[in-house]
């Protein structure tokens, strides 16, 4: 294998940004370099920029998560949606060992990769859940949405029937045919990609991982989907007072503008974009923050 020279190898920036996590992140870097391309985790053009593009970029989310940590000694719970190769979930777990991080990923080969990385880096605070993001939404959230839709439909239909009855008694107005449709209710279907049945219960144990809560203090993600979709996948997973922290590109504000209705629908408040420093001399990234009412 040809020697690949990452321009940040041995740079003091790594210790400055990663601190005590530098040692496990060095092992992570070496595994990505040795196996990442062959296993489809990174692209061949990324081999000489793994530090900047993947590890330090993911670490830019750490200060935002740290701000959300509780100070009463309890462990903060984090769900990293669509972890893929471990960005930012693996980096986050290494940098914040006081967090309990659940890496959510549906693809089997990536799940296997993530479990290997967790074992090799000895990340006892991280676990992997093989699920699609949309299948994680608690059943109570689905039921609540269905109830609201049905209540709204019942109110509308009742009003129409009342108006029609009034027209009939007074002898005015023509006969009206009212066609009703069932609400677009969501149904969670667990296929072969799922590792646990949802039902009305909390998510079951996965491998040696502890039981997974239905709601989290923080939900993170990186390059998973536009905010119009992410809102419905992530905000229902947050406890009241929790926060979505999503790494995004330069179009972050445009995504927020388009997703305003969805964010409000799932009780998100104060959506905003913040600049996220990566390291001195390196280009900043963007973080979308949405609080849960």
In a domain, 267, yes or no: yes
Quickly state the pLDDT bin for 17 (edges 50, 70, 90).
very high
Length of the chain as a residue count: 293
Q: What average pLDDT is seen over the chain?
A: 81
Which tokens is 136 given?
């994680």
Question: What CATH number did the domain enclosing 226 receive?
Answer: 3.40.50.150
59 pLDDT above the threshold of 50? yes
pLDDT of residue 213: 82
Tell me if the bond preceding 88 is cis, omega within 30° of 0: yes
In a domain, 165, yes or no: no
In a domain, 244, yes or no: yes
End-to-end CA distance of the chain: 52
pLDDT of residue 176: 30
Cβ neighbours, 10 Å, residue 138:
18
pLDDT of residue 68: 84
183 pLDDT above the threshold of 50? no
Quickly state the pLDDT bin for 92 (edges 50, 70, 90).
very high
Q: What is the DSSP string of 40-87?
A: TSS-GGGGGGHIIIIIIHHHTTHHHHHHT--SSSPPEEEEEET-TTTT
In a domain, 236, yes or no: yes
C-alpha count within 13 angstroms, C-beta hemisphere, residue 178: 13
pTM summary value: 0.77
Residues 119-151 have pLDDT tens digits of 999 999 999 999 998 888 876 655 455 544 554
Total number of domains constituting the chain: 1
In a domain, 20, yes or no: no
pLDDT of residue 211: 73
pLDDT of residue 141: 58
CB 42 within 8 Å of CB 67: no
In a domain, 8, yes or no: no
Give the residue ranges of the annotated binding site for S-adenosyl-L-methionine.
82, 87, 133-134, 222
Q: How far is CA 272 from CA 23, 66, 141, 221, 235, in A?
A: 34, 18, 24, 16, 15
Rg (CA), the chain: 23
Domain residues for the domain of 237 are 61-138+194-292
Give the residue ranges of the annotated binding site.
82, 87, 133-134, 222
Quickly state the pLDDT bin for 173 (edges 50, 70, 90).
very low
In a domain, 179, yes or no: no
Chain centroid offset of residue 229 CA: 11
Find the helix or strand (DSSP H, E) in which 116 lies: helix 108-121
pLDDT of residue 133: 84
In a domain, 116, yes or no: yes
Cβ neighbours, 10 Å, residue 154:
10
CB 53 within 8 Å of CB 46: yes
Q: Which of 12-26, 65-79, 100-114 has the lowest mean pLDDT?
A: 65-79
Higher-pLDDT residue of 21, 1: 21
Residues 193-251 have pLDDT tens digits of 333 333 333 333 333 445 788 899 999 999 899 999 999 999 999 999 999 999 999 99
């Amino acid at each position: 294998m040809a020697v690949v020279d990452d321009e940040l190898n041995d740079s003091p920036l790594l210790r400055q940004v990663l601190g005590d996590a530098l040692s496990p992140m060095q092992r992570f870097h070496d595994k990505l370099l040795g196996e990442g391309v062959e296993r489809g985790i990174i692209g061949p053009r990324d081999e000489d920029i793994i530090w900047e593009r993947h590890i330090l970029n993911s670490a830019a989310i750490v200060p935002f998560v740290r701000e959300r940590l509780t100070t009463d000694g309890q462990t903060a719970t984090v769900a990293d949606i669509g972890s893929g190769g471990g960005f930012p979930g693996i980096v986050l777990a290494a940098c914040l060992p006081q967090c309990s991080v659940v890496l959510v990923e549906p693809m089997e080969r990536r799940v296997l990769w993530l479990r290997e990385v967790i074992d090799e880096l000895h990340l006892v605070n991280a676990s992997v859940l093989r699920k699609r993001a949309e299948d994680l939404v608690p059943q109570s959230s689905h039921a609540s949405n269905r109830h609201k839709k049905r209540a709204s439909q019942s109110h509308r239909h009742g009003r129409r029937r009342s108006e029609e009855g009034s027209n009939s008694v007074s002898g005015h107005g023509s006969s009206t045919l009212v066609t009703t449709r069932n609400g677009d209710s969501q149904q969670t279907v667990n296929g072969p990609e799922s590792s646990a049945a949802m039902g009305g219960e909390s998510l079951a144990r996965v491998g040696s991982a502890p039981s997974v809560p239905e709601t989290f203090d923080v939900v993170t993600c990186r390059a998973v989907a536009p905010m119009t979709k992410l809102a419905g996948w992530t905000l229902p997973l947050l406890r009241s007072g929790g926060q979505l922290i999503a790494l995004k590109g330069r179009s972050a504000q445009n995504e927020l503008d388009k997703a305003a209705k969805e964010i409000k629908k799932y009780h998100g408040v104060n959506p905003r974009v913040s600049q996220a420093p990566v390291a001195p001399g390196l280009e900043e990234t963007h973080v979308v923050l949405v609080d849960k009412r």
